[in-house]
Structure 1
Amino acid sequence: MLDQLDLVLRWFLDDVRGKFPDSPALFADESGGHLHQGTVRNRLRYLMELEGRPAADRFSPHALRRACATHNYERGVDLVAIQQLLGHWTVSSTMRYVRPSATFIEDAYRRAVTTTLGELSGEEPHAVNIKWKLRMAAAQREVWTGAQLRRLLAERAGLELSSASVSALFTKEPSQVKMSTLAALCTALECTPNDLIEVDTTPVERPAAPPRPAADLPRVASARGRSMPPI
């Protein structure tokens, strides 16, 4: 399933669902009925207050839907697929949910310009394979959790990131990383960008263009009126 969602559902069914009354509802409340959206919103607010999260870093369940739409769009998922995933009636509703970051827009523009210039100049395209090695670099420095990394970012680099942002950097391969964030990670872990990113560039052979058919040349007539093959 998407992003190993089956593992999360298996954990929920094995360890959590059995603590609530038996009913057809997957996410049930204390009485076995369907969990109300207001209950989810209030519980999320309570947990963030309990954590002591700053007001600027707090979010709602609706913000999670917007983040889901935006992240999937930036990862290359088609808008129609995101529409079905979120249960929207029209794609126009989904488009209002998608809010690409400034870095995503800049990267898309650079890719388009680079591709166009490469085609005009006749340069061979290259396939780029990028591997995100933050977890390995952190483990080599005995940083095992996102909470530890978040504390190092604040203490050594002066960068305050939300727990969700650090967790995403720590557990997933990001579609893009700001230069300021990359520099802060290097400062916090006392490493270089090469310790965090591995780039493999492999030339891709462009398929040979089919030979153009030779243009038909006019046949030359001889003195006797018979046509001669072209010389």
Structure 2
Amino acid sequence: MMTSLFDQFASQKFMGISLIFIALIVPLFFPNSFPRWTNNRFSTTQTWLINRFVSQLMTPMNTGGHKWALMFTSLMLYLISMNLLGLLPYTFTPTTQLSMNMGFAVPLWLATVIIGMLNQPTASLGHLLPEGTPTPLIPVLVVIETISLFIRPLALGVRLTANLTAGHLLIQLISTAVFVLLPLMPTVALLTSTVLVMLTLLEVAVAMIQAYVFILLLSLYLQENI
């Protein structure tokens, strides 16, 4: 039973092609990749949301961090597209794979650390030791802060993976319960299906929020090093 539940997170193959490659390519053409003469309501709303996101993300930063706006915005839209497309039936969600999320988190986190070491090495190393620390606690705090620094990319990847995986598992468990209860107790099955619809709406919100949190934390790491 548990094996069948986790089978949805294994990349399936269709005509010899792994679905994870299709899932990675499709968001590149969604939702507004081609030029058009006039903007519709969807593209206008999308542009307004992107402008609000960039404004909120880049306002606390110094001017040096504004050059990251395009990459952060593109990555957030890419993650949101993959997360939402993964909620459709017979699809695959690449962001449920820890290896892929770590592939996003580690290089970007490492880039922020390298930028900090190059631009302001004293301030970057000063984060490893809080001001006013008693002398006997200095070695311990340096070790703790170093571990917390290197665990940041792991926390980024695990947070995204765990939230999406948990949501998918709950949806599958409750949908299975609906099919089992439907011929036995229709009333209970109807109530369970209502819970399933609410959970699906919650998972849509989680898919968007987790992409935003991923980029927001990266921007905070960058803000510490510029």
TM-score exceeds 0.5: no
TM-score by length of 2: 0.22
> Which structure shows the bigger proportion of residues in strand conformation?
1
> Which structure shows the bigger proportion of residues in helix conformation?
2
